[in-house]
Structures are given as C-alpha cells and as structure tokens.
Amino acid sequence: MKLFAGSSNIPLASKVAEKLGLELSPIEHHTFPDGEQRIMLMEKVSNQDAVVIQSTGMPTDKNYMELYFIIDALRRSGARSVTVVIPYLGYQRQDHIFREGEARSLEVVIRFMEQAGGTKFIGFDFHSVKIPELFLKPVVSLSALPLFAEKIREIYGLSRLSHTENDARRAQNSTSSQFPSSLSERQLTSKGKDKSQKELAFSSFASGQPTALLQDTVLVSPDMGGLRRLEKMSELLGGMTTVSIEKNRDLKTGAIDASTIHGTLKKRALIIDDMISSGRTIVQASEMLARNGVEEQYVFATHPVFSEDAPMILQGSQVQKVFVTDSIHVPEEKQFAKLSIISIAELLAEQLKVN
C-alpha cells in the first residue's frame, strides 16, 4: 500500500501513516501566482494499491481541486486501486435540492472524484444517512460516536458497556485525561500550554456515584436532523435519555431560530452534533437550554469546520467544553481554551488494514 496526503490535513495523515507503519509518499504540489495548482507524484505506484487522505474543508474548492489532481495522477501512473479517504466531505449539506433551480452540489463533486479515478471512498459522520447513496463506487461511512462515548464513560468513571474488541483496543490505546473536580478550581489555560493542562473537568462528573450522574444527564440534538445520531449515542451509553431541539433555518440567509424543545431536560446536557460551522446552532441551543434550567453543557461534534468567528463565539458561550475530532485540522489561531481534540487516526488505520 502507498499512502499519500493532500495538504489540508497533514497531521492526521501522518498519524494514520504511523499507525500503519508506513511513510507518507511524497507529492510535489505547486501553486502558481494565478491560483492554479500542479500535482506530481514523486514515487512509483504502478500496480500498487494507493490511498490518498484529504479533508475538503476550508478552502473547500482549493482542497477539492488538489484532491482531483492527486486521484488523476495516481490513476494515470498505473495504481491498481485508489482509495480516497475524506475525513470531512465538503458540500455535504448540499446533498439534495432545497429550492427549485439549485444545483445538487454534493453529487457534482462526488462524480468528479469518481471520474478522476477513485475506486473506493471512506468518509466520516456524513451529514445525512442518504449521502452514501450518491456514490456509484463503494463507500464506507465511519463514525466518531464510539470515541465520544468512550470519552464520556472515561469522565464518568463508568465500567464498559457493550462494545466490540476493536473499540476495546481503541480505549486501551487512548490517552487518559485528568480533570480537575471543578471548573472554578482551575482557570482556562491559554494556547500553547501542555495538552494535559488544557483538559477541563466536567465540573460535577468527578464526584458522586455514576448512577446519580446518569440520572442528572441528558443527550441533546441541537436540531431535528440529528435524531438518528442521538439514538446511536444513547445506545452506546446504555440508554441515556435524549432531548431534541426543533430549529428553523432561513434557507436564503442561513439565520437560525431555535424555538421548541422535545423531551425533558435535566441538570446536565451533552450536545451531540456532526459538525460545527459558524457555531450559531450550538450557541442558540445552549442559550435555550440555560433558559430552561440546564446548569452544565458539553458539546461533542465530529467536524470542526469553524467558519467565521466560531472559535470566539464558542469560547464566549455557556458551554463548559467542546470536544471535536481531527477530521479537519484546527490551526493554532483557531484553537481556544474550551476546545479538546480527539484523534480519529486509529479508526482510519484499522479500516485501511481491512480495505
């Protein structure tokens, strides 16, 4: 297997390569003054199985063009197969036509990847369960929910519930985090400090009995589109109570109006979502939860898109901590004290071993 990486998420690709015992194969990537890109493989791939890892977050179009060129170069260089790993799939919120006259943008970029030479695709927490149906080639959809469930159990101090051997290995190999007993006992740490110092407590998770903690906690979907995701997380946590928020979005302006809560809230809320873009959905849900008596809020979202002023908005919100994955590389300037990043590298490496 030859492993290549686009430029959007080299840190994740490097972690995957390390877990597979491989080196990333070199690519010459040149951008001309007018923005055009040129790709050249620096290693022979004839009759080899090739894998390319590229997240297609911001700048989305640039990252997609780079990916198309890498796939094409692999096909033209005689690769036996080209597995395309897209930890974050750009345009996935445009998977169907909302208004007459719109393009089905996600289907367009998928066709480009397939026509360029992709023979198999691996994605992560797609925005809709119907997205795999748009692919004409085989596609595998992985999820970060088991990683999030393990983090929650770790903080709760709960014994393992029902999980696969692979999940058990992930938990054994993961780095345990140390949490202070109360947020008030330690101030939020600044960027650049030791990672362990940036881990914050679920303020009351460190005290009391697990049963009582479960009774005080509810899983929350910030919109009705995340109900299936919420049900899966509830299963992973042994049937934790769920609540959903019904929001209305203006399709033209993107403005959000969160108006209705379905279910019974409790003292502590774990907000579960697939991505955070502008941060407005999370913040409006958080404000609504606080107005209805929720005292503690924690966010678990797979993809840190973090457009616009999302980091600043999240840091200033009422949530205590925001857990995301490294499906999208979060540069130093977008990191903030409440942020904690969990790696999906081992999940990807395990999938590639059986690919």
d(CA 329, CA 318): 25
**How distant, in Å, are the alpha carbons of 92, 93, 147, 259, 304 from that of 97?**
12, 10, 32, 25, 25
Query: pLDDT tens digits, residue range 95-114?
Result: 888 888 999 999 999 999 99
pLDDT for res 274: 95
My answer on whether 74 and 58 are in the same domain is yes
Does residue 72 sit within a domain? yes
Which of 123, 142, 161 terminates a domain? The answer is 142
340, 322 Cβ separation under 8 angstroms: yes
Does residue 311 sit within a domain? yes
Does residue 79 sit within a domain? yes
My answer on whether 200 and 336 are in the same domain is yes
Query: pLDDT tens digits, residue range 220-265?
Result: 998 877 889 999 999 998 889 999 988 766 666 656 555 788 888 9
Report the CATH number that the domain containing residue 277 is assigned in CATH. Answer: 3.40.50.2020
260 SS3 class: strand
Does residue 332 sit within a domain? yes
My answer on whether 178 and 301 are in the same domain is yes
Query: pLDDT tens digits, residue range 132-191?
Result: 999 999 999 999 999 999 999 887 766 444 344 344 334 333 333 333 222 222 233 333
The answer on pLDDT for 125 being more than 60 is: yes
Does residue 350 sit within a domain? no
d(CA 24, CA 108): 29
- Name the one residue in this structure whose structure tokens are 């140390």: 178
Whole-prediction pTM: 0.82
Count how many domains the chain has.
2
pLDDT for res 15: 98
My answer on whether 171 and 248 are in the same domain is yes
Which of 142, 160, 194 terminates a domain? The answer is 142
My answer on whether 273 and 193 are in the same domain is yes
My answer on whether 126 and 182 are in the same domain is no
In the predicted model, what is the mean pLDDT of the chain? 84
- Domain containing 68 equals 2-142
My answer on whether 175 and 322 are in the same domain is yes
My answer on whether 132 and 150 are in the same domain is no
pLDDT for res 25: 98
Does residue 21 sit within a domain? yes
My answer on whether 178 and 121 are in the same domain is no
Which of 94, 126, 142 terminates a domain? The answer is 142
Assign 64 a pLDDT band (cuts: 50, 70, 90).
Answer: very high
Mean pLDDT of the region 188-203: 38
> How many CB atoms are located within 10 Å of the residue 214 CB?
18
249 SS3 class: strand
Does residue 124 sit within a domain? yes
**How distant, in Å, are the alpha carbons of 50, 153, 193 from that of 181?**
47, 16, 20
My answer on whether 122 and 244 are in the same domain is no
DSSP one-letter string for 81-94:
EEEEEESS-TTGGG
Beta-bridge partners for 69:
none
My answer on whether 126 and 197 are in the same domain is no
pLDDT for res 71: 98
My answer on whether 129 and 155 are in the same domain is no
pLDDT for res 256: 58
- Report strand pairing: 339-342 vs 321-325: parallel
Distance of CA 274 to the CA centre of its chain: 6
d(CA 123, CA 87): 5
d(CA 98, CA 100): 7
Which of 139, 308, 287, 293 has the alpha carbon at shortest distance from 222? 287
Does residue 255 sit within a domain? yes
